[in-house]
Structure 1
Amino acid sequence: MDITPPPTRRDTPKPTGERRGLIMVHTGLGKGKSTAAFGLALRAHGRGKAVKIYQFMKVPSARFGEHRVFAQLGIPIEGLGDGFSWKSRDLEHSAELARQGWAKAEASIRNGQYFMVVLDEIMYPLRYGWIALEQVLACLQERPRDVTVVLTGRHAPQELIDVADTVTEMGLVKHHFQAGVPAQRGIED
């Protein structure tokens, strides 16, 4: 590791634009996409901002770690699906749940009651064609000025990347699954 001295001056110009809602995308093959989105939700909630989280691949009755803590904090989180496609017994039903879930999420974005809306794992239903990309793009472009939308999932479409203000690609360097270590509660849930 190279040791470097800490900076003593700001090396980037100070932004001069107006504050406004953002479109933020967390994508890539590495871990941390949902976790980063949840961190943003916690930060906003900590500032007294209204936040809503939709999870497109989780069932409405899910009680994973994030559901438990968000319930304690009063942050609404809603599962919109029936699990990942490889667990589904009826893919048409899964597609219908995604469309119904998108209708809820779209209404929350458009009505402006939330400072931040998280669309966790929305890339799956977009990639499967269950939700039309054009509808999502239109909603993002027509949303109220102060609403921030955070979208997560692997393989974000280029059209979404193009309209986003911030895109972070999580890169896989090493994963414990590769060493045969299974998913663990508190890490993967």
Structure 2
Amino acid sequence: MSDERNHRHKRAMEKLKARVDERVASADEERGQILINTGNGKGKTTAAWGTVTRALGYGYTCGVVQFIKGTWECGERNRLEEDSNLHVVTMATGFTWDTQDRDADRAACQSVWQQAEAMLSDANMYLVVLDEITYMLKFGYLEIDVVLEALAHRPREQTVIITGRNAHRDLMGVADTITDMQETRHAFNHGLKARRGIDY
């Protein structure tokens, strides 16, 4: 690299650092957050489990409530479930399009939601994941006002991650961070089976 190019790079990085430092200094509020992983792309639940792993790594207590995938194998759950700081609840009915029993699915959802509410009111829970809860709202198994009430009254330091496609607009309205995962290409659409250790 020429001296001139190095000099331009140094000046650009100095300006970038000043902007970053200014933004870091102005972010002075500290509290739990609401994060939403939504969109048609894959990786929403995987990203949530990654954050659970991070929090457990610091010794924080975490809760994961799985509203749909509870009967599936889950490599992350298998790996982490022996951690005494992790509490996992699964609806364990499988996909609602498999059960095809709305009343039974709604009852199962309500039962699991009671446990989720307990986590959302527990000041010891640093992180709570509501995995695939967006479907419960879409299918009418849960009322949005009930979920919003629980989120609004959770402990100040508690972070909640919500995953699933088509997140309700009112959930989006209270979120601090929204990640919209978009699908460009998905192997399943080209006949490739879900792969153990990669997709689940």
Q: Which amino acid aligns with 2:114?
A: A
1:40-75 CA-partner distances (Å, limit 9, x unpaired): 11111111111111100134x654212210124342
Aligned CA distance change for structure 1 residues 141 and 177 (closer, same or farther; 3 Å): same
SS in 2 for 1:150: strand
Per the alignment, residue 39 of structure 2 pairs with 28
1:97-147 CA-partner distances (Å, limit 9, x unpaired): 111111110111112220000011111111001011101111111111011
Report 1:26-175 matches (<5 A): 26-59=37-70, 63-74=73-84, 75-175=86-186
Tell me if the contact between 1:70 and 1:76 (Cα under 8 Å) persists in the aligned partners. no
CA distance in 1, matches of 2:173, 2:28: 19
* Corresponding residue pairs, total: 184
Q: Which amino acid aligns with 1:97?
A: A
Q: Which moved more, 1:163-172 or 1:50-59?
A: 50-59
RMSD: 1.7
CA distance in 2, matches of 1:128, 1:7: 49
Per the alignment, residue 18 of structure 1 pairs with 29
CA distance in 2, matches of 1:89, 1:171: 28
CA distance in 2, matches of 1:155, 1:39: 21
Percent identity reads: 36
CA distance in 2, matches of 1:128, 1:154: 12
TM-score (norm 1): 0.90
Quote the offset at 1:177 in angstroms. 1.3
Q: Which amino acid aligns with 1:146?
A: E
SS in 2 for 1:115: strand
Tell me if the contact between 2:129 and 2:160 (Cα under 8 Å) persists in the aligned partners. yes
Tell me if the contact between 2:89 and 2:112 (Cα under 8 Å) persists in the aligned partners. no
TM-score (norm 2): 0.86
Tell me if the contact between 2:62 and 2:126 (Cα under 8 Å) persists in the aligned partners. yes
Tell me if the contact between 2:133 and 2:162 (Cα under 8 Å) persists in the aligned partners. yes
CA distance in 1, matches of 2:182, 2:13: 27
Choose 1 or 2 for highest CA Rg: 2
CA distance in 2, matches of 1:46, 1:156: 29
Per the alignment, residue 179 of structure 1 pairs with 190
Greater helix fraction, Structure 1 or Structure 2: 2
Quote the offset at 1:80 in angstroms. 1.7
Q: Which amino acid aligns with 1:166?
A: T
Per the alignment, residue 199 of structure 2 pairs with 188
Aligned CA distance change for structure 1 residues 48 and 161 (closer, same or farther; 3 Å): same
Q: Which amino acid aligns with 2:79?
A: V
Aligned CA distance change for structure 1 residues 139 and 181 (closer, same or farther; 3 Å): same
Q: Which moved more, 1:85-94 or 1:109-118?
A: 85-94
Q: Which moved more, 1:42-51 or 1:76-85?
A: 76-85
Tell me if the contact between 1:28 and 1:155 (Cα under 8 Å) persists in the aligned partners. yes
